[in-house]
Structure 1
Amino acid sequence: MNPLEIIPVAHERLRTVRRQHFIGGRFASTSSTEAISVTNPATGQSLGTIPNGTSADVDAAVAAARSALPDWSRRTPGARAETLFAVADVVDANAGLLAAVESINVGKPLAAAAEEIAVVSDCLRFMAGAARSAQTPAAGQYLPGLLSCIKREPVGVIGAVTPWNFPLMMAAWKIAPILAAGNTLVLKPSQLTPLSVLLLLEMTADVLPPGLLNVVLGRGSQIGDALSKHPGIDMMALTGSLASGRAVARQAADGIKRVHLELGGKAPLLVFPDADLDALVETLVATGYTNAGQDCGAATRVVCHRDVHDTVVEKLVAGAESLVMGDPGADDRVQLGPVISAAHRNRIAAMVEQACSDGAKIATGGEIPDRSGFFYPATVLTDVAAGTQMARDEVFGPVISVETFTDESEGIAKANDVDYGLAASVWTADQRRALRIVDQLDFGTVWANTHLAFATEMPWAGFGQSGYGRDNSTYALEDYTRTKHVLLPMDGTAD
């Protein structure tokens, strides 16, 4: 099938998808009278509405999750794995349709969305298997006459809030380890991009036991707030902005809830003169502009040695200007889609304007195009001064900034001069230098001569204001479990 042939199929399917909360294994109505419009960012046209949920909806979802918890938590890891494998099978069988829905709702190229759906399935399958091989310290007689062992138990009912930039993939990064570990879940997807999650719920309603996965639609300021404060929620997990993370942590504090936060980033690419500049720029274009730069690990901040600055900028400008910008649903050549909303586009434009006021120069892009949809061009900024907003704050758009350094220590200092600590990369042909610098970059993931390379087996986690808590890997499973120390008498007595 031609890639664009699936788009009208997806539009037709979206006309019938249920726009309701999913509670206790079924779609449920709400007492709320407020509707939230969901928009195709490439055209500005409405994709319909969803309800803005209420605290009563949250109460119902939490009650359903608590009701399902005893049975689910007592199932063996193998039995839980079978359910996750069944969900993964549904994802695989409908991968094209799910990717098309993501493309329409987020505005990203269909090929990029298809890569994410493959990650959804892989995450479900990995966590299903990993839960069956959870590790603990060796049982042993650490006190005289007593055998100690560790039990890993589910935390309980988890509240999760996921973002709009990778709707189904970010939901899977929460759903898979949370359920695999024996917990139940109340999920709030972004009100901007809920459609792929709703479609998957329709497809898996007969696969998931009732109450296992509950979804409440609505704004984060209301539903996220209600989940964070709810006495029936044992832990909160969020992928989102720094402001959202602070709000969830603050609201969860009164209940002494555990909190899992994956927040923003400002990823530097530290470039030395001996780097493969063609590979660098190819990676910059692919990982800085895909999904219109709306990625917390996006390659949008180049910290470049002065000797190769001009060459890097020249190649980067050519790469940015070669991108085809437009509606991914209308042209399969499109490589740069829109940003998520008019408000977000205006925020990006304001940051570029401020950067210019701070002394930066626009090498290409930097102007909102006169067209429908929420587009912003692939932009390159040079002469970005250390310490300015553009050097330190997350743009979350298709804007790559370039700073310079003269020696290794200055480059490392500039790369680390951010409050975020999510991801970074170093570019050099000198492997000793690469290893030396990796140790000095204060980020949760550091690549050498590549960027945004992921493996489900490895953790995605940040330092500093990028949050705490690990997505992917067995570390994610650990985050959603608690340990119980069990001591048994060695001689059969109870003394």
Structure 2
Amino acid sequence: MTTGADLTTATVRRAADATPPLITEADLPPAGHFVDGKFLGGSAERVIDVIDPSTEDVIAHTPAGTSEDIDRAVAAAVAAKSHWARLVPKDRSELLHAIADRLAADTELLSRLESANTGKPFAVSRDDVDMTIDTFRFMAGALRATTSMAAGDYAENHLSVILREPLGVIGVITPWNYPLLMAAWKIAPILAAGNTLVIKPSEQTPLTTLKFAELVADLLPPGVVNVVTGYGAAAGARLAEHPDVDMIALTGSVPSGRAVARSAAETLKRVHLELGGKAPVVIFPDADLAAAASALRVAGFWNSGQECGAACRVLVHVSVAEQFVELLVGEVRSLVIGEPTAGEDIEVGPMVSKAHFERVTGYVERAKADGVRVATGGGGIDGPGYFVAPTVLVDVPEGAEAAREEIFGPVVTVETFTDEEEAVRRANDVPFGLAASVWTENARRSHDVAARLDFGTVWGNSHLVLAAEVPWGGFKGSGYGRDLSVYALDDYSRTKHVMHNHAR
């Protein structure tokens, strides 16, 4: 990995030689699938290397799951679904609270595993674990307070009662950027709604999902949660097409979403998709520019920019563009890059894999070749590890590849606009619709522009602030369905109308 000639002098802080390793052999979960309450070997001998992206070292191996492995896990989930669905809300709630307690007791271990497998700075991995715990606690409470329309006579002499029922068995496919947290965003509402599940984590980052299964194995009835590791083309495809799976829920790329939806269509199963994003950050002349630049230091580079809601596409009014870029570049140049064990102040880690490193740096190189100017950063950093310098690209023309496609790395583009209509039009002119933000001190403008932006979440004078109580999900190419909040419980359940004739 070579350093570009115009790369700002970004360096990677390495752990001192005497620093203990992030994890030991004892910290790793068992190297197998978790099916019907126990860890089992795979049906094939092939294994997948799990790599620490900070060092490029192989730290574990997991089975490459097959269709047979998925079939075995689905059978276990089918066998467990009736008992789990019949539990009253109080009992399911207490089990979810017990899961949250168990995770809280192992926060430090889970954080280290997540950082070892993904390269996340500890600030990110700890935040992931904290929100994982909070997601289970929220769903534990929400499942006891579900509401629906009142029972009553809507046709003469006929009493209508609305029931919310579990769907049955849910197939889950989770991404590599937030392995534990995205698993929790699916598992918690799925269990809360009374379903059982089979989850396939990313083959690149399976460790915390397997560890989760190990930690909660004694809390849940066998078969309620099952984990099969493997590649999407084999294990994921079988999960999506399986006739005994009642719904498939995926967080991942747009191509993965299309493939899953096509497979699911054969059995007419429900589909829940949280896909990519290209979040515009619309900055008007009256905005607090320093606050916006400071917010983007986090929102643009959190998790090394490997974040579907990242503040990655700035649209700033031409009259304040130069001032804003100066503030933003100052923030970005002071970001601390390094291995997780190199210090608590590390803010930016590596890309998750060599392939993703090459993908991100490829976008930057093509942008430079097209005349886009690098204000800071601009390429990869010498290894070991898959580190990319935090980058700000300016003088980005309308319609440029870097401003339309999801780079999914520590790269923020800056475009300018001249009036509000242009800002809204260009903000919406991307295939994604996950998240956006508006920066202005004018409250009327803030509300009006937010209403005109075609994105599932729009922040005003902030970006990338999440809470378990509010929904997360997108429009257009970003998919459909909602994570978090009571809306997720609705997604993972079905409505039944029962009507009683009581005429006498």
Q: Which residue of 2 aligns with 1:369?
A: 381
- What amino acid is the match of 2:43? S
Q: Which residue of 1 aligns with 2:12?
A: none
User: In the aligned structure 1, how far is the partner of 2:61 from the partner of 2:291?
Assistant: 43
SS in 2 for 1:79: helix
Q: Which residue of 2 aligns with 1:247?
A: 259
Q: Does 1:302 align with 2:314?
A: yes
- Residue in structure 2 matching 1:49, options 52, 61, 64: 61
Deviating above 3 A after TM superposition, structure 1's stretches of 4 or more consecutive aligned residues are: 7-10, 13-16
1:275-313, Cα deviation, whole Å (9 max, x unpaired): 111110111111111211000000111000001111111
CA contact (8 A) 2:28 2:207 kept: no
Q: Which residue of 2 aligns with 1:200?
A: 212
Shift of the 352–14 alpha-carbon distance from structure 1 to 2, 3 Å rule, reads: farther
- Residue in structure 2 matching 1:112, options 124, 148, 151: 124
Which residues of structure 2 form unaligned runs of 5+? 1-14
CA contact (8 A) 2:69 2:228 kept: yes
1:9 deviation in Å? 7.1
Shift of the 491–259 alpha-carbon distance from structure 1 to 2, 3 Å rule, reads: same
Q: Which residue of 2 aligns with 1:261?
A: 273
CA contact (8 A) 2:150 2:161 kept: yes
Bigger Cα displacement from structure 2, 70-79 vs 483-492: 483-492
Equivalence map 1:230-245=2 (5 Å):
230-245=242-257
CA contact (8 A) 1:242 1:465 kept: yes
1:143-179, Cα deviation, whole Å (9 max, x unpaired): 1111001110000100000011111110000000000
Q: Which residue of 1 aligns with 2:150?
A: 138
SS in 2 for 1:390: helix
User: In the aligned structure 1, how far is the partner of 2:66 from the partner of 2:299?
Assistant: 38
User: In the aligned structure 2, how far is the partner of 1:154 from the partner of 1:235?
Assistant: 11
- Residue in structure 2 matching 1:226, options 228, 238, 248: 238
SS in 2 for 1:439: helix
Q: Which residue of 2 aligns with 1:407?
A: 419
Q: Which residue of 2 aligns with 1:217?
A: 229
Q: Does 1:178 align with 2:177?
A: no
- Residue in structure 1 matching 2:301, options 269, 289, 310: 289
Q: Does 1:353 align with 2:365?
A: yes
CA contact (8 A) 1:359 1:385 kept: no
Which residues of structure 1 form unaligned runs of 5+? none
CA contact (8 A) 2:93 2:140 kept: yes
Q: Which residue of 2 aligns with 1:453?
A: 465
1:480 deviation in Å? 0.4
CA contact (8 A) 1:10 1:97 kept: no
User: In the aligned structure 1, how far is the partner of 2:349 from the partner of 2:366?
Assistant: 24
User: In the aligned structure 2, how far is the partner of 1:435 from the partner of 1:17?
Assistant: 48
Q: Which residue of 2 aligns with 1:167?
A: 179
1:358 deviation in Å? 2.9
1:438 deviation in Å? 0.7
SS in 1 for 2:341: coil
CA contact (8 A) 2:111 2:122 kept: yes
Q: Which residue of 2 aligns with 1:331?
A: 343
Give the TM-score normalised by structure 1: 0.97
- What amino acid is the match of 1:463? F
1:388-414, Cα deviation, whole Å (9 max, x unpaired): 211111010000000000111111111
1:96 deviation in Å? 1.4
- Residue in structure 1 matching 2:87, options 51, 75, 81: 75
CA contact (8 A) 2:200 2:236 kept: yes
- Residue in structure 2 matching 1:40, options 45, 52, 59: 52
Q: Which residue of 2 aligns with 1:484?
A: 496
Question: Whose RCO is larger (CA < 8 A, sep 6+)?
Answer: 2
SS in 2 for 1:53: coil
SS in 2 for 1:133: coil
- What amino acid is the match of 2:439? W
Aligned pairs, number:
488
CA contact (8 A) 1:163 1:189 kept: yes
Q: Does 1:100 align with 2:108?
A: no
1:252-279, Cα deviation, whole Å (9 max, x unpaired): 0010010000000000000011111111
SS in 2 for 1:461: coil
Bigger Cα displacement from structure 2, 196-205 vs 442-451: 196-205
1:45-97, Cα deviation, whole Å (9 max, x unpaired): 11121110111111110000000001000110111111111100001111111
